[in-house]
Amino acid sequence: MSAALDLASWALILAGGAFCLVGALGILRMPDFYTRVHAASVTDIVGSFAILLGLALQAGLSLVAVKLGFIALLIFFTSPAATHALVKAALERGVEPLQGEGPSKR
Amino acid sequence: MFAAAAVLLLATLALLLVRAVKGPTVFDRLLAGNTIGTVSVLLLATVGFLTGRPEFLDLALVYGLLNIVGTIAVLKFFRHGSLGE
């Protein structure tokens, strides 16, 4: 494997890990449920796709890369569906979004 | 370097676990649980590369499939009060 490809794959894997950590920090620190959902999408999309792409670059053209592609496809389709169902269920159960004061009028 | 990514993912899991235990509403816990599923899929794939055993990817695929089924099932239960007849 060429050194440039190796470097790119390591950068992608480490960046994906960092994005996952940032998303989890958001889920832990955000003030209400709907903002937490917003933070979770960072982990679900950017983090997972960066890590899977980095691993696929390590694997090269093989069955392993195909499996990684299937995992990425699975996350790509199921994660937005799960998030949508989650938020809709929360809205129907009456979880109130956190309302601010609005723009101050002077 | 796979080990570094695995450590980052484990730290992510720890933070998510705190939210899942603490979460005020059931939906916070479900969100944390769903994200824990996604991160564990990534962790399984990374550990498979770390130990040089790509069979772990099959486990990761099964975890991903079970994750979506579990989340939707629990959501349906909390939305309708039953799993349907």
Instruction: Please report, rounded to a whole number, the percentage of residues in chain B having pLDDT higher than 90.
Output: 54
Under the banding of pLDDT at 50, 70 and 90, the label for residue B79 is confident
Whether A43 is covered by a domain: the verdict is yes
Under the banding of pLDDT at 50, 70 and 90, the label for residue A106 is low
φ/ψ of residue B52, rounded to 5: 70, 25
Residue of B25, B34, B42 to mutate for A, most A C-beta atoms under 10 A: B42
Condensed to tens digits (0 to 9), the pLDDT of residues B60-71 reads 999 999 988 888
| A-B C-beta contacts closer than 8 Å | 137
Condensed to tens digits (0 to 9), the pLDDT of residues A21-49 reads 999 999 999 888 889 999 998 888 999 99
Mean pLDDT, chain B, integer: 88
Residue B3 has pLDDT above 60, yes or no: yes
Q: What angle do CA B51, A23, B40 make, to 5 degrees?
A: 30
Looking at residues B34-59, what average pLDDT do you find? 91
Whether A104 is covered by a domain: the verdict is no
Q: What angle do CA B28, B47, A84 make, to 5 degrees?
A: 25
Domain limits at A27?
Answer: 3-92
Q: What was the pLDDT predicted at B2?
A: 87
Whether A35 is covered by a domain: the verdict is yes
Whether A37 is covered by a domain: the verdict is yes
Whether A102 is covered by a domain: the verdict is no
Are the beta carbons of B16 and A27 separated by less than 8 Å?
yes
Whether A105 is covered by a domain: the verdict is no
Which range has the worst mean pLDDT, A19-28, A44-53, A55-64, A94-103?
Answer: A94-103
Query: Chain B residues contacting A, CB < 8 Å?
Result: 1-2, 4-5, 8-9, 11-13, 15-16, 18-19, 25, 27-28, 30-32, 34-35, 38-39, 41-42, 45-46, 49, 54, 57-58, 60-61, 64-65, 67-68, 71-72, 75, 78-79
Q: Which single residue is written with the structure tokens 């979880």?
A: A95
Whether A34 is covered by a domain: the verdict is yes
Q: Residue A47 has which token pair?
A: 């983090």
Tell me how many domains chain A contains.
1
Whether A101 is covered by a domain: the verdict is no
Looking at residues A42-66, what average pLDDT do you find? 90
Under the banding of pLDDT at 50, 70 and 90, the label for residue B84 is low
Under the banding of pLDDT at 50, 70 and 90, the label for residue B9 is very high
Q: Which chain B residues have a beta carbon less than 8 Å from that of A47?
A: 39, 42
Looking at residues B70-80, what average pLDDT do you find? 82
Among A15, A47, A86, which residue's Cα sits nearest to residue B67? A86
Four-residue CA torsion sign, A89, A93, A94, A99: negative
